[in-house]
Amino acid sequence: MTNKEKQYAKATTIFRQLILNIIVPVVLAIIALAIYNNYSRTTAFKNFYHEKNNLVSYFIENTLHQQDIALEIEEDNLDKRLEILSDSLINYYMVGANVDSLNLFEIRESLGMDPNQEDIYIIDNGVIVNTTYPPDLNLNFYDFGEDFKQYLENVQLADSFKSEKFSIEMSTKKLRKYTYQPTKDGRYIVQLGVYSVRANEVISSTNEILLDISKENPAILDVDLFIGADPPFSFDSSAEMELDSALIDRA
């Protein structure tokens, strides 16, 4: 091997050593740094979305809590008024009267009830025999099933005013409240059905807030507001409930 070849071989060896000693570690360091930065960014994004989701969840829970408080206050106010109305019907208007032929429209007016929001129903052996809401006349509650029949029988045996929680009226998607009270002779049940402008305003406001959250957060695909647990009623979805379940919840 000539001196020139030896020098070339030596230079090549030194160059290779430089690559191994300097360039390779630098490349490895760059790769490691890139991996670390990517991990850090991924972790940061995860933490960011986790905190964001926690804030959104807290906001939704707080909104629903405020809704529940507002509805409870409205229900308490309605219960006091409806009990007075129910007692007046039973202890004044229905005493010694032919209940089937009572002019409930005049009675409703004399009691100061709102004809657009409040209705009176007289139930005899499960059947609505008189009402200010003609479409429900002759409706037989016992057709809703044995459970609801037992419910009405228990109302008669209790001999006291009974108020139900707000439930969604399927045909209107509005909240409606029903109360029950048996007559003195135990033959009839007086049912009052009322809408609440205030309660429906609360629900509408809550629904708008939840929809705004959905619009402002792309990660949230949709928001649906439900009332009740068995069965749950939705204000937004088009899913249909079982007829028996919906009718039982009506009461």
| Integer-rounded Cα radius of gyration of the chain | 35
Residue 108 has pLDDT above 70, yes or no: yes
Residue 130 has pLDDT above 80, yes or no: yes
Q: Strand pairing partners for 179?
A: 163, 192
Please give the backbone phi and psi of residue 116, each rounded to the nearest 5 degrees, phi first: -90, -15
- For the chain, domain boundaries: 1-251
CA-closest candidate to residue 138, choices 152, 121, 114: 121
> Which is more confident, 36 or 61?
61
Residue 14 has pLDDT above 80, yes or no: no
Residue 231 is predicted with a pLDDT of 55
- What's the mean pLDDT in 214-233? 64
Residue 203 has pLDDT above 70, yes or no: yes
Residue 172 is predicted with a pLDDT of 73
pTM exceeds 0.85, yes or no? no
pLDDT digits (tens, 9 = 90+) for 131-185: 999 998 999 989 888 888 898 888 888 888 999 888 877 667 788 899 999 998 8
Q: What is the separation, in whole angstroms, between the first and last Cα of the chain?
A: 107
Half-sphere CA count of 209, side-chain side, radius 13 A: 16
Burial of 113 (0-12, 13-18, 19+ CB in 10 A): buried
Asked if 104 and 122 touch (Cβ cutoff 8 Å), the reply is: yes
Q: What CATH superfamily is the domain 1-251?
A: PAS domain (3.30.450.20)
Q: Average model confidence (pLDDT) for the chain? A: 77
